[in-house]
Amino acid sequence: MTSRVQVGIAVSATLTAVLLGMAAAVADEPKKADFLFVQSADSMSYDAADNRLTLKGVSPVTVFFTDRPERIAGNMKTTKFVPFWSEGDDSFKSYPPNADISVLEGKELKQTVVELQDPKLDGDSLSYTVKVIKGEMPESATEVAVFIDIIGRPLTPLSYAGVARRTYRRAFLY
């Protein structure tokens, strides 16, 4: 009987050690957030022959947000957003994001889903090569919003307001 108790204790101790080791390994892994982005512009034009979308009067600020694993919302300079196409293993160049191009025409909302590639920022004009996935891209429009799909980024120490609110952060990247 004593040997069964000793075996049971040994098995229990081993399982506890394994589970604690697994928990520590998971805790050491950096958290990754899936960020969404929003860009706005005064107007847009689309050249169907070149598949080129140009946002004119684009905001110098690109908004980003996520709600998993933490709620984080903020803004970054658009000049800092464009390099996402060339930096990192999970860059937009390797995995081009989809985006919803939303424009208001009178009282009607028109939406086109595209894949964004090859951004070029020149002053307050930002252009992308696009592949239309769903809908029809208007040749021109005003009051444009571009909702860009996720990119997974490791959570990093960002400046934020409301330090005590651990489940929600407002951040900025400049």
H runs (alpha helix) in the chain: 2-28, 78-81
pTM score of the predicted model: 0.69
The Cα–Cα gap between 146 and 38 comes to 6
Which residues lie closer than 8 Å to 167 by C-beta, 6 or more apart? 70, 71
The pLDDT of residue 83 is 86
The Cα–Cα gap between 99 and 96 comes to 10
The pLDDT of residue 17 is 47
Chain mean position to CA 76: 12
The Cα–Cα gap between 44 and 127 comes to 9
CB of 144 closer than 8 Å to CB of 102: yes
Domain boundaries, the chain: 1-30, 32-173
pLDDT digits (tens, 9 = 90+) for 96-150: 889 999 998 888 899 999 999 999 999 999 999 999 999 999 999 999 999 998 7
